[in-house]
Structure 1
Amino acid sequence: MKKILSIISITFLLISCVGNDKMILRESIGKINKVMVVAKISDWTGDVGKEIRNNFGELQVGLPQSEAILSVSQVAPNGFSSMMKSSRNILIISEGATENFSVKKNVYARPQTIVYVQGKDDAGIIKILQDRKTELRRIFLDADIEFTQNIFKKEKLDETQFKTLQNLGLSLIIPDKFRKVDDTGEFLWLRNHLTSGIAKSGSNNILVYSVPLVDKTTVADSIVAVRNKFGKKYIPGSKEGMYMITEKAYTPFTFDATIDGKKAYETRGKWEVKDDFMAGPFLNYTVLDEKNNRLVIFEGFTYAPAVSKRAFLFELEAIAKSMKIQ
């Protein structure tokens, strides 16, 4: 009888452990926009590694300095230790009898994203990496967007204090390090003064406003003109006649996007102050809100001379992609 009770107790304990595995996962570690690649040294130093570095190392458009979309590091399978398994973003490369591309969440830690790529040989692995190039990058970037938003949710601003967001019927997850510069009811400008390192004289900025939707077919072509109009009206320079414009010597890049389930355009480029030396990168999301016959515009721009700016723009992207429109 005691033996039976012992077996029942052990079985119940095992079931409890399995049923609560999510509760005992450790907290993941790793920098934003960084992926750990688990691959053999021969793969990493060969064509497979070259393909991965070319994909993730593609330069982010719109930045004044050369910065990769994603940073990577490598570890061999026999060095994929318990500590390494805590990494938040992992790409595992392997050879096998069948080809495979799969994604798993929270395997060894939480939050965590692991992408498994398996091919019959190097050529098969490289083909998968090439065919899923954009998807592969997006998987890790979207995971980091969600991770960043969850951090911001813990200490976010009370958006009901901003007239513009209320009037436009918008909600955003904005960390409380941002402070109001202007809030007219039609135009919102928030700023985060950077306080550490060499960038402490700089700032991260958020602009939110709306314009009527006139012609869906011309929206993408009008983005620069609209931002220049609002820059002239609301973003002054240090002297009269100075104001923010789109840098004339650099053509912005515009891509299709989706915000709150709505068609949008993502534009990355450089801003400058007319007749002054201030400049930096900007990220603009122009959202087609057909229900309300308007364009909702979120723009983030950074001023941080002499430092890398990818991380600052990524924070602004995470905030923009938290937008909800009534």
Structure 2
Amino acid sequence: MKKIVCSLFFLMVCILTACNSGPVVTRATGFAYEAVVVMDKNYWDGVAGDAVNGELTAPVPGLPQAEPSMKVSYSQPKDFNGLLTYVRNILIVDIDPNIYTKVSLSAEEDRWASGQLVLTLKAPSPEMVAEYTQQHPNQLTNLFVKEEMARATRQLEKTYSSVVMDVLKKNHQLALNVPEEMVYYKDTTNFFWATNNASTGRMDVVVYTFPYTDPNTFTADYLVAMRDSVMKANLPGAFPGSYMATETKYFDVDYSPIEVEGKYCGVMRGLWKMVGDMMGGPFVSHARLDEKNQRVVVAEGFVYAPETDKRNFIRRIEAALYTLRLPGEYEAPEENTQEK
């Protein structure tokens, strides 16, 4: 029988559910990347529960140590009421051979609370639930993670570092919403770096550009080589001769294409290290083509947090990368508009 992970938050929810008789809560509650799974206990303790829980708690790709994609709490259907229905991420698994003949998955936003995502998985048998998760790997997790990214991006569009935004717009014709605490920066030709300079959970972002001359630019090999060249030149370590590089000997770099603003974006994730030092951690980058200026724009976030889990830090900075806007995708600075 699997170990059921329950956060302190969900324990408090259960207590408050029994006591609460106040007004209806309209905003979704809970922490980022946490979900409650609702299904019959007999199925939760069997192959269906193993399959669902196994997927949701699978390791996050691109981290140096294994961390679960989601933190999962479980509820029996009879206990799923009150404040539990206001949790931001909910998965309902309904297994009934008398009603269903095939597996189906649906998603609904704001079902019981605003800012909420409810997934409902219906199946005629627990075995078909397990089979479905094998045929559609990471589908449940990806839906929750995509929604969490969207939530974080919407928040960054409201509250962000105006320092970073202003410098990038003025000097690089780019816009990027990063966490508001990132106010320490270095700006040079074709390279920008900012950090929150935190003692715990340090997050950094870099933006650099280079001419687009090769159609093979958008490959892992090309971008890793360019990354190492740029980082070595611009981010020296604390010790003489030390510099940042990509870890490729013991860890594979993952590269995958997505669309941002309806255009191609290469997403690369892996580990960074300081050559000549003992520092390292995860990174994720977005590479896009600025057609107007025929340059490649790379925005990267990386994390240094040796004393704690890194999942939420790297995902927060990854959400910021989705706010990258190239020339023509944002309102130009007023002084540039006047010059035209």
TM-score (norm 2): 0.81
> What is the CA distance between 1:138 and its match in structure 2?
2.0
Provide Cα deviations, 1:204-243, integer angstroms capped at 9, x if missing partner.
0000111122223342121111111111111111123111
- Give the C-alpha shift of residue 303 in structure 1: 1.0
RMSD: 2.0
**Cα distance in 1 for residues equivalent to 2:142 and 2:36:** 15
Aligned residue number for residue 136 of structure 2: 132
Cα distance, 1:201 vs structure 2? 4.5
Residues 1:61 and 2:61 are matched in the alignment: yes
For residue 261 of structure 1, report the CA deviation from its aligned partner.
Answer: 2.1
| 3-state SS of paired residue (1:171) | coil
Structure 2: 5+ residue runs without aligned partners? Answer: 1-23, 328-340
* 1:181-260 correspondence to structure 2 within 5 Å: 181-194=185-198, 200-220=199-219, 221-249=221-249, 250-260=251-261
Q: Which residue of the partner structure matches residue 43 of structure 1?
A: 43
Unaligned runs of 5+ in 1: 1-23, 195-199
2:184·2:196 contact (CA, 8 Å) conserved in 1? no
Tell me the amino acid that sits aligned with residue 210 of structure 1. Answer: T
> Is the partner of 2:286 in helix, strand or coil?
strand
Question: Does residue 306 of the first structure (1) align with residue 307 of the second (2)?
Answer: yes
- What is the SS of the residue equivalent to 1:231? helix
Distance 2:201 2:83 in 1: 36
Whole-Å Cα distance in 2 between the matches of residues 131 and 300 of structure 1?
32
Identity across matched positions, percent: 28
1:1-326 correspondence to structure 2 within 5 Å: 26-96=26-96, 97-98=99-100, 99=102, 100-158=104-162, 162-194=166-198, 200-220=199-219, 221-249=221-249, 250-326=251-327
In 1, distance between residues paired with 2:118 and 2:167?
Answer: 42
Query: Are 1:159 and 1:165, in contact at CA under 8 Å, matched by a contact in 2?
Result: no
Compared CA separation, residues 55 and 291, structure 1 to 2 (3 A): farther
* Greater helix fraction, Structure 1 or Structure 2: 1
Larger radius of gyration: 1
1:31/1:161 CA distance change after superposition, 3 Å: closer
Q: Measure, in 2, the Cα distance between the counterparts of 1:51 and 1:81.
A: 24
Asked whether the equivalents of residues 35 and 71 of structure 1 are also in contact (C-alpha less than 8 Å), the reply is yes
Alpha-carbon distance between aligned partners in 2 of 1:304 and 1:160, rounded to the nearest angstrom: 22
Q: Distance between the aligned counterparts of 1:61 and 1:287, measured in 2?
A: 22
Shift of the 161–83 alpha-carbon distance from structure 1 to 2, 3 Å rule, reads closer
> Are the aligned partners of 1:153 and 1:175 in contact in 2 as well (CA < 8 Å)?
no
Q: Is the 8 A contact 1:171 1:325 kept in 2?
A: yes
CA contact (8 A) 2:203 2:313 kept: yes
The count of residues paired between Structure 1 and Structure 2 equals 298
Kept after mapping to 2: 8 A contact 1:243/1:274: yes
